[in-house]
Structure 1
Amino acid sequence: MRIRLTDVAKGRRDEALPPTSLAYASGEARLALAETEQRPTVLGLIASGRMAPDVGTVTIDGRADAATLRRAVALVDAPDVCDPAPNVTVAGMVAEELMFAGRPSNPVSARRWLEAEGFGAIARTPVADVSPRERVALLLGLTALRPGVEGMVLVSPDRHGGHPAEWWELAESFADRGFAMLVVAGEAAAIVLEGRAPRADAAAGTGTAAEELDDLVAGSGGETPAALDSDLVDDSEAEPATATAGDVAADPAARDGSAPASAAEPAPEPAPAPTTDPAPARSGEHDPIPESADPDPTPEPDDRDEPEGDR
């Protein structure tokens, strides 16, 4: 699954969200930057299909399908949208999330889940007093239980304090489980995670032609559009052929690292014959004509003459 936002913006004069492009996909964690109090939530809503941008496009596997995007991607801990109430206990929050996941959500079930995950000691603790790492770990773990969820957009985990590496490690662990993870945070967190957290806006600008083709094929129900087929044929004719894995395996020279001769290369032209001191005539060739002789300008044909190409 690949989600791509292209030049999305929101609000009058783009105040709620300036033009933004980013991408994130299954099995990877990406970091998106958004400053001010409102923009991280707006970006999270748009990236999870819960808010339509005023301009720009949002696609999932090459298609603009907000309903599919909402089912596949969950919004996590967005302020004033889906963050847990600060005064509710951890057990109460777990019970609510288990209900969303379609599981038994009574107090006993909630406590059992907490104990199984190693959080039994904080069951009665208000959510506002939970450490930043425990809060993110609880919310991501509970969200992953929801059926059909393939990705998560975690909004502003840096607002709770703590070291950014703690919640980034959690995002990476869920990406390793196959989820598409997008984390929206501020510039300060991005500086701390420099060199470790790949940027989602960089991913939006480095899509390969193969990725674009995958998006288009997925959006057409698995069949390559006819118009695209003709473009691919033209492109294949314009580009030189490259050796395949089978060619390399069959060619010992290729396995040794030496490049095989290309069939398309023309044969080298023969070196010109010397003009100063010709070699003696071979057997079957005519003797050279002396300079004093007056050769017949139209000599009779000789069946012994070699073909012209052999001279």
Structure 2
Amino acid sequence: MRITLYDVSKGRGGEALPRTSLEFHTGAVRFALAETEQRPTVLGLIASGRMRPDTGRVTLDGAENTKDLRRRVALVDAPSVSDPHADIALAGVVGEELMFAGVGATPIHARRWLAGLGFAELASVPIGSVDPAARVRILCELAVLRDGVEGIVLVAPDRHGGSPDGWWRIAGEFADRGYAMLVVVGGSAAVALERMQEFDAINASGPVEPLVLEEPADATSGADTRTATDTDTENGDAR
């Protein structure tokens, strides 16, 4: 699976997201730089098929298929969209995600699931107080419980503090397990990753293969006029 963003942007003059091109694929982890409060989430929404860009195109294995992209790529921990409230106990977060995955979701199931992952002692801890690396591990493991998920877009793990090496190693482990991994980070984290040569961190923005356009059968068909707020949150699921 290969996801490619070609010259995408959002908002008037790219205010919500300036023109961006990047690519990530199965079995590899890449990072993408997005600064300001809004842009990381907007980039994550577009890269996971949950928001249409105002310019450019997003392809999955060379074709535009938003529905399939949304089904196969999970959006994890995106601020104001898919991040859990900081005050909710971790077991509560786990129970909700187990429910979305269609498996046992009682408090007992949640605690057992956490114990199996090695985090039993964190069950009653508010997720906002969980160590950043543990948070990433737990949320990504929950994301891949859903049927059909083959990739993850992890948004701004650096906002929780700590060193990037913890959550970057975890992202790399998911890539080794065969998932396509994109981590959206801020400038400081990007610089830190590039300096940690042992991680061989690769920026998703380059190089990106040129897009070969086909002549549309009807240039007016498929027009989309939705705004930056038109995401899957409309029907209650932006994960």
Could you state the TM-score of these two structures normalised by the residue count of structure 2? 0.85
1:42 matched to 2:42? The reply is yes
> 1:7-32, CA deviations, whole angstroms, 9 ceiling, x for partnerless residues?
00100111111100000000000000
Residues 268-279 of structure 1 mapped to structure 2, 5 A cutoff: none
Which residue identity lines up with residue 203 of structure 2 in the other structure? R
Q: Structure 2: how far apart are the matches of 1:12 and 1:143? A: 32
Name 1:199's counterpart in structure 2: 203
Q: Is the 8 A contact 1:24 1:203 kept in 2?
A: no
Distance apart, 1:203 and its partner CA: 4.0
Name 1:109's counterpart in structure 2: 109
Which one has the largest radius of gyration? Answer: 1
Name 1:23's counterpart in structure 2: 23
Q: Structure 2: how far apart are the matches of 1:43 and 1:116? A: 33
1:121 matched to 2:125? The reply is no
Kindly report the root-mean-square deviation, in angstroms, between the aligned alpha carbons of the 2 structures: 1.4
1:33 matched to 2:33? The reply is yes
Q: Is the 8 A contact 1:48 1:73 kept in 2?
A: yes
Which ranges in structure 2 are unaligned for 5 or more consecutive residues?
215-239
SS for the counterpart of 1:138 is: helix
Name 1:170's counterpart in structure 2: 170
Distance apart, 1:197 and its partner CA: 1.0
Q: Structure 1: how far apart are the matches of 2:95 and 2:144? A: 15
Moved over 3 A (4+): none
Q: Structure 1: how far apart are the matches of 2:186 and 2:86? A: 22
Distance apart, 1:39 and its partner CA: 0.3
Q: Structure 2: how far apart are the matches of 1:190 and 1:97? A: 29
> 1 or 2 for the larger relative contact order (CA 8 Å, sep ≥6)?
2
Name 1:283's counterpart in structure 2: none
Residues 184-195 of structure 1 mapped to structure 2, 5 A cutoff: 184-194=184-194, 195=197
Name 1:299's counterpart in structure 2: none
Aligned residues: 209
Which residue identity lines up with residue 22 of structure 1 in the other structure? L
Which residue identity lines up with residue 61 of structure 1 in the other structure? D
Q: Structure 1: how far apart are the matches of 2:76 and 2:124? A: 22
Name 2:99's counterpart in structure 1: 99
SS for the counterpart of 2:205 is: helix
SS for the counterpart of 2:118 is: coil
Identity value in percent: 57
Q: Structure 1: how far apart are the matches of 2:151 and 2:36? A: 25
Could you state the TM-score of these two structures normalised by the residue count of structure 1? 0.66
Higher strand fraction: Structure 1 or Structure 2?
2
SS for the counterpart of 1:190 is: helix
1:65 matched to 2:65? The reply is yes
Residues 1-311 of structure 1 mapped to structure 2, 5 A cutoff: 1-194=1-194, 195=197, 196-205=200-209
Q: Structure 1: how far apart are the matches of 2:207 and 2:48? A: 17
Name 1:251's counterpart in structure 2: none
Which residue identity lines up with residue 140 of structure 2 in the other structure? L
Q: Structure 2: how far apart are the matches of 1:78 and 1:40? A: 8
Distance 1:191-1:107 versus aligned 2 partners, 3 A rule: same
SS for the counterpart of 1:69 is: helix
Q: Structure 2: how far apart are the matches of 1:115 and 1:155? A: 26
